[in-house]
Amino acid sequence: MKTIWGCWEGYINSALCFSQDNVYLIIKEESPRIRIFRYTSDSIQNNQYIISLYIDKSRIKYSIEDGVLRKSTDYKWTDDQGLNLIYQNTKGDNNPILVLKDTIKNTIRYDEMIKAENYQNLFKVLKEFKNVYIIEEESFYDGFYIAKKIQKPQFSVKL
């Protein structure tokens, strides 16, 4: 059985060297707000990550009934904005890399993405980095993550 080192030793990347150029988006695969479509063949590995950036528009309505304060919550969620991220590796031209967790400088976790004050700002910042990597949190092993360099991020409306 091969170890993670045996499979990846040629692709280890020191995040310290290029930290100002890279941003790492850390997601949880099992999140209901993240859809991952995978296609793999002999020569192509293609993953599409559709990350919903929902907006909580819950409202509380206050009233007084029989002299008692009542609160009723009206839950409304919108699913009309998100990120469309594509990772593609054709014949080894974009292999995943290993990054040491403790050396990663620029990270945005999914729970931080959804709290962005302005999604256009988030998208603009992502586009300013030379390289955008996606990390599935479940890939963590022995202090390392597997990071996949994605194509230029796309902003999707009406997911």
The pair of three-digit structure tokens given for residue 98, joined into one six-digit string? 């290993």
Question: What pLDDT is attached to residue 156?
Answer: 62
For the sheet with 81-90, list strands across it.
34-40, 44-52, 81-90, 154-157
Rg of the Cα trace of the chain? 20
pLDDT digits (tens, 9 = 90+) for 83-129: 888 999 999 999 999 999 999 989 999 888 877 777 778 888 888 88
- Which residues lie across from 157 on neighbouring strands? 81
Strand 22-27 relative to strand 131-136, pairing:
parallel
Question: What pLDDT is attached to residue 135?
Answer: 96
Question: What pLDDT is attached to residue 11?
Answer: 45
Residue of 113, 116, 156 whose CA lies nearest to 134: 113
All residue ranges of the chain with pLDDT < 50 are: 1-19, 157-159
